[in-house]
Amino acid sequence: MKDKLIKWIRDYTELTNAKGYVLGISGGKDSSVVAALLCEAIGKDKVLGILMPNGEQKDISDSYEVCEVLGIDYQVVNIRESYDAIFKQIESTPEVLYPGDDGGYCARTNKALEYGITKEAAINIAPRLRMTTLYTIAQSVGYRVAGTGNRSERYVGYCTKWGDMAADINPIAGLTMHEVLNLGDELGLPHHLVHKTPSDGLCGLSDEDKMGFTYRQLDDYILKGSSGDEKVDKVIKKKHLMSAHKRGVYAPAYCIDEVDYAHYHWREDECHDFENDHLDMTGVPYCDWTMICDVEE
């Protein structure tokens, strides 16, 4: 798997004339694995890691360690001020702009629009600020943004639309969580980084605590059709259906099998029944990525 992914990254880089890649380094398995793959594929001098704590990050030492182990350049951008500013502007300004008669904009207060920022909306602000940060830096240095979300997270919508899902390329999008773990070990990354308890760093809970089931159950459901627990199957299926709106446009990714291949190669008239299968289909127009998205034999 490692060699095929590395070859795919090299082919994609050459095909799209990419000069290098920027990615967020959280200190977890996914970003560590993607960073390591990029280093082996195109060289560590063309990989830039961005550490983006939201105020204080208790495990930021892991992020530093990833960069030091791989020998990549990195930059720290604390997003706390931007995060707080968005809250302040939204919650303290119940004003909306509308076109004025003179072609400019006028301001008015509409009390009907007063609301509070919900907990889930607040959680998703940080990932979106981080992706804005990554794209700003990437465009400034002439690089592309590499995504770090895995197939398991995407399947149940445990990701932020236009946040961590946004990227120019994502080498591990077709890998389940346990496949990422195995790849991390194959790449020789420090065991404690690859196998640390997964958490989003946003809500204070582990991934499994927040989802309500284990990654093993989720991966079994994705690959085998059942987690082994009927109640868990129903929860996973519901989360998959409820998050269908997130599965629209994908960054190019290496397709592991024919099922995953279908996520990227299909036509508008090939609609799927979400109730009766496990494919991540939405109404995305046909896009031919054949040269950069090959099915593993």
Tell me: the pLDDT tens digits for 137-162? 999 999 999 999 999 999 999 999 99
Confidence grade of residue 91 (pLDDT, cut at 50, 70, 90): confident
- Record the pTM: 0.80
Do residues 37 and 21 touch, judged by C-beta distance below 8 A?
Answer: no
Whether the CA torsion 159, 160, 161, 167 is positive or negative: it is negative
Digit-coded pLDDT (tens) for 43-75: 999 999 999 999 999 899 999 999 999 999 999
**Average of pLDDT values for 247-258?**
63
How far is Cα 297 from Cα 292, in angstroms, rounded to an integer?
A: 15
Q: How many residues does the chain have?
A: 297
pLDDT, position 246: 86
